[in-house]
Amino acid sequence: MLQPPQHEVIIGSGSGAGVVANTLTNDGYKVLVLEKGKYFPNSELTFNDAEGYNNMYEKGGGLATADQGLFILAGSTFGGGSAVNWSACLKTPFKVRKEWYDKFNIDWVADETYDQCQEFVWKQMGASDENITHSFSNQVLLDGSKKLGYKSRPVAQNSGGHPNHSCGFCYLGCRYGVKQGSVNCWFRDAADKGCQFMDQVKVQKIIHRNGKATGLECIDNRTGKHFRITGPRKFIASSGSLHTPCLLQKSGFKNKHIGANLKLHPVTVLLGDFGHETKTKPYENSIMTSVCTQVDDLDGKAHGAKIETILHSPYMESIFTPWKDSDQLRRDVLKYNNLAAMLILTRDTSSGTVKFDADKEDAFTVDYTLNKFDRNSMLQAILVTADILYVEGVKVIIHPQNSVEDFESNKPKHERSVTDSDYVAWRNKIAKIPLGKYGVSYGSAHQMASCRISGKGPSHGAADLKGRLFECKNVYIADASAMPSASGANPMITTMAFARKIALDISKDLKPQLKL
């Protein structure tokens, strides 16, 4: 039995965990961070795809929803999602904050409290859109949007003030130590102030009685040895929107919102082949440095799809290349050096559930089906993306639905207009073909809202406005699962802002108690 003296314990090491550890240690409290994944120093982050996915992602990158309709990427390494994400920094959209205030009575998202939390994490990581060298795809997105008058802008990177560097491999960890996630930013300062860490430790259960948690049941993933940790005053669950609800379910908490309301920001990809004479160098420069927001608010409530760029690895692109037959897939994948790849990312109205499997060790099920509205949001973004690719001179537009014909043109770029008759005819045709539940590759790298907070009590959420479980006042939620709904933007900044607010409240609660 491990009894650290008056430590607060954080379960998980991702974006939320880093901010909480940093905040509490800077306020003078002792913190222990537990992570089921393995810690890799920057010097060891030299993996190829097979090694990287196996070492750093949940289920080796092979996780999917129960109906196999959507595949899921989630970090499973020390640093969590912050170690493998694509550095994109976007603040929470205004309409999303308003929804959380109006619908869930979360007062602090509507005032300067939340602004200050966002600014704190932004500045701490040195997030900036200066000194960016855009990749081919990102430049196409910005240039095409400008030509057509579509709303677009650069996306800030959490590079700590460093000049933009040519690295398209941040999905396998930042070997240069530039990306300011939990490992290279938040935990360094915390470690200097006494924060302690245990990697490859799986927390099996929170021990609690009469509304108070007293300890953790754990297993050492290296040895298989079971042990307990007792003594912490505060237990902060920061295991992500897949594992936090499963941990709470296994611990016996019963609130109906634990594991419910799951949001995934479902995505698909539109590929553009610029021909063999154009080398797009998809492996160079940062992965995601631009965004088009032309159709990200189709209902007036911030539901729609953003257009961004996707990781340009052959493995990732092959997943989103539509299957027509094996020969065609092979030909499309071999176009790698000539492709631009545009990501269609949806703020979903769909929702799902995540639930642990009591019959299988460490197994869980994600039940989620993409609804008609969200598939139409993707379609509208596909149309806008096709416009951008066309005016930028693409030779072939590869539609993500395998039953839809691609568009081809050899017309010179400088002569093109989106009013060209052949393009208009194809565009009008695909506009009438709904995206199906199947026949399109859908994915998710953002999981949110599965243990949402609410100011309306336990009938509307799993935790209160301080992030405390309604069922247990010294267990807190401080990760993306605390969001009331989808963030509507790449969720790192939102997750960290929530964690900052929750950590500040934890610190206030601890102040009357003895610091060590």
Catalytic residue positions, numbered: 446
How far, CA to CA in Å, does 199 sit from each of 10, 13, 85, 180, 346? Answer: 12, 9, 20, 19, 34
Q: Which residues contact 473 (CB under 8 A, 6 or more apart)?
A: 211, 212
Cα(481)–Cα(429) distance, rounded to whole angstroms? Answer: 39
Task: Indicate the residue type of 204.
Answer: Q
Cα(190)–Cα(503) distance, rounded to whole angstroms? Answer: 13
Cα(489)–Cα(127) distance, rounded to whole angstroms? Answer: 15
Cα(287)–Cα(269) distance, rounded to whole angstroms? Answer: 14
Token pair of 419, please?
Answer: 């009013």
Instruction: Determine which helix (DSSP H) or strand (DSSP E) holds 213, and give its type and residue range.
Output: strand 212-220
How far, CA to CA in Å, does 408 sit from each of 33, 340, 342, 405, 440? Answer: 53, 15, 17, 10, 20
Q: Is residue 74 within 8 Å of 81, Cβ to Cβ?
A: yes
Strands 267-273 and 290-295, by their bridges, are unpaired
Cα(172)–Cα(85) distance, rounded to whole angstroms? Answer: 9
Q: Can you tell me which residue has the tokens 């953790």? A: 216
Instruction: Determine which helix (DSSP H) or strand (DSSP E) holds 268, and give its type and residue range.
Output: strand 267-273
Cα(443)–Cα(98) distance, rounded to whole angstroms? Answer: 27
Q: Can you tell me which residue has the tokens 């199947």? A: 438
Q: Is residue 427 within 8 Å of 383, Cβ to Cβ?
A: yes
* Interior/surface letters 317-327, b for 16+ CB within 10 angstroms, e for the rest: beebbbeeeee
The DSSP letter of residue 88 is E
DSSP notation for 389-429:
HHHTT-SEEE-SSTTS--EE----GGG--TT-HHHHHHHHH
Q: Is residue 435 within 8 Å of 401, Cβ to Cβ?
A: yes
Task: Give the number of C-alpha atoms closer than 13 A to the C-alpha of residue 94, restricted to the C-beta side.
Answer: 1
Cα(364)–Cα(81) distance, rounded to whole angstroms? Answer: 19
Alpha-carbon radius of gyration of the chain: 23
Task: Give the number of C-alpha atoms closer than 13 A to the C-alpha of residue 305, restricted to the C-beta side.
Answer: 25
* Residue 21 CB neighbour total at 10 angstroms: 32
3-state secondary structure of 212: strand
